[in-house]
Amino acid sequence: MWFYIKLAWRNIFRNKRRTLIAGIAIAIGLASLILSDAFMIGMENNIVKSATASFLGEAQIHGDGFRETQEVEITVRNFDEVITKLNQEEIVDKFTPRTLSFGMVTSPADVSSVLLVGVAPETEIHLSQIDEAVNRGSYFTGDDNHDIIIGSKLAEILEVSLGDRLVVTVAQAETGDLSQELFRISGIYHFNMKEMDSGMAFIRLEKAQQMLGIGSRVHEIAIKFKDKTYAVQEELPFWETYSQGGNEAVSWTKLLPQLKAFFDMTGISLFVMCLILASVVVFGIINTLFMSLYERMFEFGVLRAVGTRAAGVRKLVIFEAGALGIVSIILGVILGFVSTLLFTKTGIDYRGIEFAGTTIKDMLYPEMNVLQFIIYPIGVFIFMLIVGLYPAFVAGRMSIADALRKSL
Amino acid sequence: MSNKMKNEANIIVTKNIKKNYRDNGIEVPAVRGIDLTIKPGEFAAIVGPSGSGKTTFLNVISGLDSATEGKVWLKGKLLTDMKGKELSDFRRDHIGFIFQSYNLIPVLTVEENVEYIMLLQGVDKAERHRRVLEILKEVGLEEYADRLPPKLSGGQQQRVAIARAMVSRPSLILADEPTANLDSKTGAGLLDMMKELNKKTGMTFIFSTHDEMVMKRARRVITLKDGRIAGDETKK
């Protein structure tokens, strides 16, 4: 065995230029896979962060049916008990309560429908980035219950600016009576996300509860985990614990199913890319191995003549494919590492571009992980051995007399 | 003497060996029925013009090629019935080959080339090393054990090929035009060396050749013409 490995290793360097060309072709394929995977991970994390950290949270608790109907009567059941439990929950980092209702915002110039969000400013800052996005005015300083924060686009629509007054109208829970209040614009935010900039307005939680006539109840508790991966672990007892007593706890994967589907699709795209690269590379490898095989036909004939079994010759060809694989992997890993590292420094500017309903807010950076440098190289190596089977089979079946005759 | 005993007492016995090739769909006979017996320790040359069937006959008697018809016994074993692993192992253990263009593996050192067959036989490393050095000394190349074949002259490479053929102590050495690529002086030296080894070890040597030097040195000259034996002369 070791003898064949040694022989195969030396054989592939007999024609250094050919080995280098074939090796570079495979290495480019491997490096592309590593880089693509790093980009996929970077993009996924970036989009998830854009989607969850802006406002959504990594998970949410609602009363059953609220997500489907958005009816203001449906609030989180046993709110105090849920809050107590969440405070003791080890995997939960922060959480914040919210009210959500549709309402009308009226200015002297125009009127617009919005999603009116009642927030607890002191805890909301841990869950969303509204405070960071406020670029005019301030984020709920003081204790004026008539402060309202609106998006830049909404301000444009309503032709208002900081300090202007707005009338907010909502329908009360249970009765459906209209409730109106006058608010003063204390802050204007810009998220660079169309829905948020034009369709949302934020007021204090107590004021929202009062307008909606829901007492101290809330519609939503947004949650941030200590580790973002908890959000995608469906087997965690967390989901069951908080999906009892008329409530439901859902992660962002269910709140944004289109995003989950998008990521699944990118996974499939990567797989398809693997297949395409593999099929391009496969012919190159087979060609290289066959050129090497036919060039050394007489040598294989001699090996067989002196008593090497067909299996020995097959082994030698497969080991040569493996040796070529190792050279390619070394080149590919270096190339993949350098190119990924380069992009982790420069990043790609996809800011403002929308993917599956979520607008990317930050620069996109590929994310390297150890598995990229283990799984893909191992995959390439196994692939090389499999590809080597065909020339190995041909080498094992060749007639010794024909092989000896060919090169004479 | 019964046929069985006769086959066992001889190195090679062939009976009505025929070999046809297909060339563009046409059956071309290369060997047309050869009956031949080679005794242990012979130093024989199979001679004849190009196309007379020398190489084909050597290929068939060594199991490198199959016969279209007829039988070959090698050391009493019916070679023409062997296949696959059995045939490979039999060749490895009983036949040494020397080829016209040396055909050493260029990426292996002289020592590695020579020890290869013993490696296939499962001989342990120390014994392999001992026997390689011994045979390299016999062929005058003990100082070249670590060299790669491309760094050697043609004559030296053919000596390595002889060492490779003999190191596993086979009963039969088949040499296909061993002097064809060598100058006459080197060729003569090699032939003398092989004759000496033949005397010393008792191994049987069969050459296919049309080199006068080989014919002069061979104790038996078998002449082939159109795939048949046209002459078989044993020198006194």
Query: Does the CB of A14 have a partner CB in chain B at under 8 Å?
Result: yes
Which residues of chain A are within 8 Å of residue B88 when distances are taken between CB atoms? 304, 307-310
Q: What is the pLDDT of residues B81-121, one digit of tens each?
A: 888 889 999 988 999 988 877 788 889 999 999 999 898 88
The domain at B40-64+83-234 falls in which architecture?
Answer: 3-Layer(aba) Sandwich (3.40)
Mutation target vs A (from B103, B121, B124; most A CBs, 10 A cutoff): B103
Q: How many residues does chain A have?
A: 408
Give the pLDDT of residue A119: 95
| Angle separating helix axes A257-295 and A297-305, nearest 10 degrees | 70
**B97 contacts chain A (CB < 8 A):** yes
Assign B8 a pLDDT band (cuts: 50, 70, 90): low
**Quick check: B5 pLDDT over 60?**
no
Pick the range with the lowest mean pLDDT from A110-119, A340-349, B193-202, B219-228: B193-202
Q: What is the DSSP pairing of strand B69-74 with strand B12-23? A: antiparallel
Given a cut of 50, the residues of chain A with pLDDT beneath it are: 407-408
Domain locations along chain B: 40-64+83-234
Task: Check A305 against B93: CB less than 8 A apart.
Answer: no
Question: For residue A298, what is the nearest residue in chain B, using CA coordinates?
Answer: B103
pLDDT digits (tens, 9 = 90+) for B151-176: 998 888 888 988 898 888 888 999 88
Option in A306, A400, A408 nearest B92 (CB)? A306
pLDDT per residue over B53-83, tens digit each? 888 899 899 888 888 999 999 888 898 888 8
- Which chain B residues contact residue A14 at CB under 8 A? 106-107
- Tell me whether residues A408 and B97 touch, CB distance under 8 A: no
With an 8 Å Cβ cutoff, is B116 touching chain A?
yes
Distance (Å) from the C-alpha of residue A397 to the closest C-alpha of chain B?
10
Report the pLDDT value the prediction gives residue A407, as an integer from 0 to 100.
47
Q: Is A400 an interface residue toward B (CB < 8 Å)? A: yes
Is residue B1 predicted with pLDDT exceeding 60?
A: no
Q: Give the side-chain half-sphere CA count within 13 A for A380.
A: 30
pLDDT given for residue B4 in this prediction: 59
What is the pLDDT, as a whole number, of residue B80? 87
The DSSP string of A130-185 is HHHHEEEE-SS-TT-TTEEEEEHHHHHHHT--TT-EEEEEEEPTTT--EEEEEEEE
Chain A contact for B164 (CB, 8 A cutoff): yes
Q: Nearest Cβ partner of A10 from B62, B84, B107?
A: B107
Chain A and chain B share a number of CB contacts under 8 A equal to: 66
pLDDT on residue B195: 87
d(CA B115, CA B53): 32
Rounded distance between C-alpha atoms, residue B99 and residue B180, angstroms: 10
Whole-angstrom distance, CA of residue B73 vs CA of residue B71: 7
Total residues belonging to chain B: 236
Closest residue in chain A to residue B120, using alpha carbons only: A308
